[in-house]
Structure 1
Amino acid sequence: MRLSRSFLPTLKENPAEAQIVSHRLMLRAGLVRQTASGIYAWLPAGLKVLRNISQIVREEQDSIGAQEVLMPTLQSADLWKRSGRYDAYGPEMLRIQDRHKRELLYGPTNEEMITDLFGQTVKSYKELPQVLYHIQWKFRDEMRPRFGVMRGREFLMKDAYSFDLDYASAVASYQRMMLAYLRTFQRLGVRAVPMRADTGPIGGELSHEFLILAPTGESGVFYDAALEDQDWLDEPVDVNSPLALETFYKRVTTPYAATDEMHDTTAWDAVPEERRREGRGVEVGHIFHFGTKYTKAMDISVSAPDGSQVYPEMGSYGIGVSRLAGAIIEASHDENGIIWPDAVAPFKAAILNLKVGDETCDAVCERIYNVDTEAFLYDDRTDRAGAKFADADLMGHPWQIVVGPRSAKEGRVELKRRATGERHDLSVDDALALVLAG
């Protein structure tokens, strides 16, 4: 993308309405714009971030055998009445009527719909287990939406739902999903800690939430330092082996970790003092096992090996995709702007032409840009160099390829790594090799 022709409106000053770092930087870097209270339009660079996050989430879901579907945003109220949640869910649910006075709702979550779809299709234990997921927009009518995409009313979310014949199989599905989640966050370039959590209005008995550690996080967290080193995620785990899954699960959940709301001071005292860590975190995912809560309420059963009818055990697994965009910024920024991890950045590098109109500078920049026009944001504006450096830092590109007239004549460029500030004088080919290897 050429910056001179892009729809990438950066701001020099912090918007008055933005209260937290991620909201300020997402507005200033031209990623989003608010269209109504708690509702945001995602501009081209922001949309690229959403797509990058979604793709990593999708690949890790596929890796454990989950199957992607796409459910509608509007749901029939009848489904929720069958489960008993229609009146219980509260004012966060947006309830509407169509022209025929049929009651609908803009889905805040999808347990009822996926249970009904499952019941229409699966009739026998031989068809289990099933894990279905989708990445779809949700709406919850927050009373006081705030903090930009971190606490908005409309948001993009990955929902997954597991169906198993019995409790032991359901726990194995839960453990597989925990593995997929931790590997997802690792690939996104952030450290997320699983913490035992309350199940809330969704219901259930086994529940963990995942918090990205960030100094500006909304929740206080207490955790064992044993959870800080997550290199063991690189070790292979056989997702079809109950023993391997159980070993992995214990390794992840045995060290103490809790938010303010779930903090157990007695258990905390049992953690060796040198391993106690306190900080703040941003919730980006939540997984639940709730047994037969929905299959029983909606009378969805399958035939068991002995011929009887049983209600399948279910789990529900959510990741806030749009929330992750903000959470990553909360965890990865400095006073100059965003520092995107390579995997989610909208562009791999910014090409900064320091003398637009100079024949050699223009030729070198064009040569680099045309290698991959999707990977590079080419700053071909006639602005002064300082403005280009400031915008590149603000937008957080992992690399900056700086092309000046003197170095261009020698076939060289300056390559800056945004995360560390390191600069290298390299040939064009060597700079390209480094950038494209990320």
Structure 2
Amino acid sequence: MKASQFFIATLKEAPADAEVISHQLMMRAGMIKRLSAGIYNYMPMGLRVIRKVEAIIREEMVRSGAVELLMPLVQPAELWQESGRFQAYGPELLRLKDRHDRDFVVQPTSEEVITDIARQELRSYRQLPKNFFHIQTKFRDERRPRFGVMRGREFTMKDAYSFDRDKDGAAKSYDIMFAAYKRIFDRFGLQYRAVAADTGAIGGDLSHEFQVIADTGEDAIVYCPTSDYAANVELAEGIALGTRAAPGEAMVKTPTPGKSTCADVAALLGLPLQRTVKSLVLATDQLNEAGDVIKTTVWLLLVRGDHDLNEVKTGKVEGLKQGWRFATASEIEDHFGCKPGYLGPVSTKKPVKVIADRTVAAMSDFICGANQADFHITGVNWGRDLPEPDLVADIRNVVAGDPSPDGKGVLAIQRGIEVGHVFYLGTKYSKSMNANYLDENGKPQPMEMGCYGIGVTRILGAAIEQNHDERGIVWPAAIAPFAVVVCPIGYDRSAEVRAAADQLHETLGAAGIDVMLDDRGERPGAMFADWELIGAPLRVVISDRGLKAGTVEVQGRREAQASTVALAEAAALVKERLGA
């Protein structure tokens, strides 16, 4: 490819609304152009990256035994009503009507359509297992689209769906997809982690997120550097810190005027924050058939003062699984006789259900609110000063330095960007949509399903967030728009330079290398700046001065200095460098 035949449109400055580095660099490198909030034109340079990402995904999906099809962007609402998601999905689902006033949706995902295909086509156990995938445009009507392609409204996703006879078969399909995803991300050349993830409302125990490591990532990844343990922060297990000691202090009601936070109380008393206990008040409502509240239960959740409540874990606690909310100010005052900031489990005004985090249950001589403004209680002990908690559960976020749940070290935390997810669905869709197969005895059985997604266009943003410097993008070679750029100095003025550049371009292209020849006649500084911004992994500079010595310069995008090599050896060196 020659630059004069391509489309290159770089910018010196990023638009003011480009918030994160990937958004800024993609705009500056001419890879995307904003059409509307969260909706972008993918320009030729960006589309080349997308096509390379798709090619790797497609090759590995086919290698894994998955079969490609293509499902429509616009889907009939009847299928979504059948699964129960037409209303449940919420405002992110773009709903529309056709000229006949029939309801449709613009797909954010395709579980309903693929289940409809499966119930029509997969009739017998002999046809299972089967895995279908497609790479298709998706649309989610984000309230606040931001970060460029990282959280846009329109995007491209590869989604796959497996169908099996039973849970054992589904687990095998899951493992196959997990292995395929590892190959995909290895080939992308990205640093990533596959972390155990929460399964959400669907339930089950098989779910992994593939997270690209980046300091700017929205997600917290918990891992053990000395073992294979890895999970997202919503799922990572918090081990009890310490064991409960015998009481060593008397319980004392202590004035803490104006000090309503654990940190302020600890500072006032000159004690470690780890001695304090934080109180959070939740409520659950029991409804009648008409949807009216007939009973409200108030819950007091206790975590150590330096810890934070994990709402995902909280939603799995017995008694809270059916849904909870934070208690209202009036409910708090009614049960504790006090406003938030001074709440605690000792002598509440009305009975409440007490859930203690594992670490809190192991504490002694701790500090908590006195249920009276401007007072806290020190020296509080379970059993002596208040009953044992109604329930002990893991309800906190882990922190760096916590023991690893596998007992093989301590936890560390890093940031990541979720770009892939493998998920065991079970029979959630097959049962609601009556997707059954006939078993060996001729009896209908619901198919066991799994779903597996990769955010194709999100890969671009994640790769840039992980791989960039002050000059621009640093693409891994496998997904760079061009693997190597030939930069001739004076291409429009020197016949020798032009001949050498054309020959090298032809040789590399014939070898199957994705090469760009910059024949625009730009000044060296401007030409180099463009390709450093765009992020070509290798650059070959050809000049009259070098040709007189029979040499050219080869430089990797991450390298500070170029290597001088013989012109005759340049093509072989480029092949070797890209192969490595």
TM-score under structure 2 length normalisation: 0.68
- Report the Cα offset of residue 98 of structure 1: 1.2
Once the two structures are superposed, the pairs formed by residues 22-41 of structure 1 within 5 Å of their partners are: 22-41=22-41
Determine helix, strand or coil for the equivalent of 1:279.
strand
Taking the aligned partners of 1:120 and 1:317, their CA distance within structure 2 comes to 21
Specify the code of the residue in structure 1 equivalent to 2:237: D
Give 1:105's aligned residue.
Answer: 105
Gap change, CA 1:28 and 1:272, over 3 Å in 2: farther
Distance 1:191 1:21, change over 3 A: same
Q: CA deviation at 1:202?
A: 6.4
**Are residue 423 (structure 1) and residue 562 (structure 2) matched?**
yes
Mapped partners of 1:179, 1:386: distance in 2: 44
Mark the CA change 1:226 to 1:428 in structure 2 (over 3 Å): closer, same or farther: farther
> Residues 158-216 of structure 1: CA distance to partner in whole angstroms, max 9, x if unpaired?
00000000001101111111111111101000122122222346665421111111122
* Contact 2:489–2:543 (8 Å) recurs in 1: yes
- Is 1:262 matched up with 2:398? no
Residue 261 of structure 1: SS of its match in structure 2? coil
Question: Within the alignment, does 1:301 sit opposite 2:414 as a pair?
Answer: no
Distance in 2, matches of 1:141 and 1:81, equals 19
CA contact (8 A) 2:224 2:409 kept: no
Q: Which residue of 1 is the match for residue 544 of structure 2?
A: 405
Q: Does 1:389 align with 2:528?
A: yes
Deviation string for 1:361-410 (max 9, x for gaps)?
Answer: 11111112233297222222233211112111111101000011111234
Across the two proteins, how many residue pairs are aligned to each other? Answer: 411
**Inter-partner Cα distance in structure 2 for 1:202 and 1:54:** 29
| Residue 505 of structure 2 corresponds to residue 369 of structure 1 | yes
Amino acid paired to 2:543: G
Query: For 2:449 and 2:527, how far apart are their aligned partners in 1?
Result: 52
Q: 3-state DSSP class of the match of 1:145?
A: coil
The 1:202–1:330 alpha-carbon spacing in structure 2 relative to 1, beyond 3 Å, is farther
Q: Do structure 1's residue 283 and structure 2's residue 430 form an aligned pair?
A: no
More displaced stretch, 206-215 vs 372-381:
372-381
Which residue of 1 is the match for residue 63 of structure 2? 63
Greater mean alpha carbon deviation, residues 350-359 or residues 338-347: 350-359
Cα displacement string for residues 264-316 of structure 1 (whole angstroms, at most 9, x for unaligned residues): 33184136786643211010011111211111100111111122110010000
Contact kept, 8 Å, 2:226 with 2:408, in 1: the verdict is no
Residues 108-127 of structure 1 correspond to what in structure 2 (within 5 A)?
108-127=108-127
Letter of the 2:499 partner, please give it: A
Instruction: Give the helix-richer structure, 1 or 2.
Output: 1
- CA distance in 1: counterparts of 2:177 and 2:417, whole angstroms: 20
CA deviation after TM superposition for structure 1 residue 4, in Å: 3.7
Unaligned runs of 5+ in 2: 240-397
Shift of 1:434: 2.7
Question: Is this contact kept in 1: 2:226–2:409, CA < 8 A?
Answer: no
Aligned residue type for 1:50: I
Is the CA contact 2:484–2:537 (under 8 Å) kept in the aligned structure 1? yes
The offset of 1:223, in angstroms, is 0.8
Distance 1:118 1:258, change over 3 A: same
Q: Partners of 2:226 and 2:40 in 1: how far apart?
A: 38
**C-alpha contact (below 8 Å) 1:32/1:41 kept by paired residues:** yes
Q: Structure 1 residues 197, 366: CA separation in 2 closer, same or farther (over 3 Å shift)?
A: same
Report deviation, 1:422.
Answer: 4.6
Aligned to 2:571: 432
Does residue 310 in structure 1 map to residue 449 in structure 2? no
Q: How does 1:152-191 map to 2 (within 5 A)?
A: 152-191=152-191
Q: CA deviation at 1:29?
A: 0.8
Asked if the contact 1:74–1:105 (Cα under 8 Å) also holds between the matched residues in 2, the reply is yes
Instruction: Specify whether residues 39 and 201 from structure 1 end up closer, same or farther in structure 2 by C-alpha distance, changes over 3 A only.
Output: farther
Match of 1:328 in 2: 463
Give the equivalent residue in structure 1 for 2:321.
none
Instruction: Report the equivalent of 1:146.
Output: 146
In 1, Cα distance between equivalents of 2:425 and 2:407: 33
Compared CA separation, residues 202 and 328, structure 1 to 2 (3 A):
farther
- In the superposition, relative to structure 1, how do residues 262 and 205 fare at CA in structure 2: closer, same or farther (>3 Å)? closer
| Maintained 8 Å contact 2:403/2:409 | no
2:57 is equivalent to residue 80 of structure 1: no
**Which of 68-77 and 205-214 deviates more?**
205-214
SS at match of 2:476: coil
Q: Which amino acid aligns with 1:130?
A: K
- Structure-2 separation of matches of 1:265 and 1:202: 23
Call closer, same or farther: CA 1:429–1:70 in 2, change over 3 Å: farther
1:232-275 Cα deviation digits (max 9, x unpaired): xxxxxxxxxxxxxxxxxxxxxxx322233333331841367866
Contact kept in structure 2, 1:282 and 1:327, CA below 8 Å? yes
Q: Answer yes or no: is the 8 Å Cα contact 1:8–1:31 preserved in 2.
A: no
String of CA shifts for 1:10-47, please: whole Å, max 9, x gaps.
Answer: 01113211111111111111111111110111111111
- Secondary structure at 1:352 match in 2: strand
Which digits, 9 at most, give the CA deviation of each residue in 1:315-342, with x for residues without a partner?
0000001000110111111111111111
Equivalent pair of 1:37/1:145 in contact (CA under 8 Å) = yes
Partner residue, 1:250: none
Cα pair distance change 1:43/1:201, threshold 3 Å: farther
Q: What CA distance in whole angstroms lies between the structure 1 residues aligned with 2:58 and 2:469?
A: 29
How far is 1:101 from its partner?
1.4
Is the counterpart of residue 292 in structure 1 residue 265 in structure 2?
Answer: no
Q: CA deviation at 1:427?
A: 2.3
CA-to-aligned-CA distance 1:412-431 (integer Å, 9 cap, x gap)? 21000112335211123422
1:199 maps to: 199
Q: Structure 1 CA distance, aligned partners of 2:122 and 2:561?
A: 56
For residues 343-368 of structure 1, give each alpha carbon's deviation from its aligned partner in whole angstroms, at most 9, with x where no partner exists.
10111111111123111111111112
Report the Cα offset of residue 99 of structure 1: 1.3
Larger Rg, first or second structure (1 or 2): 2
- Tell me, in whole angstroms, the C-alpha distance in 2 between the residues paired with 1:416 and 1:178: 36
Secondary structure, in 3 states, of the residue corresponding to 2:442?
Answer: coil
Q: Contact 1:8–1:43 at 8 Å: present in 2 too?
A: no
User: Secondary structure at the residue paired with 2:234?
Assistant: helix
Question: In the TM superposition, what whole-angstrom CA distance separates every residue of 1:89-138 from its partner, at most 9, and x where no partner exists?
Answer: 10001111111111111100000000101111111001100011001110
Tell me the percent identity. 45
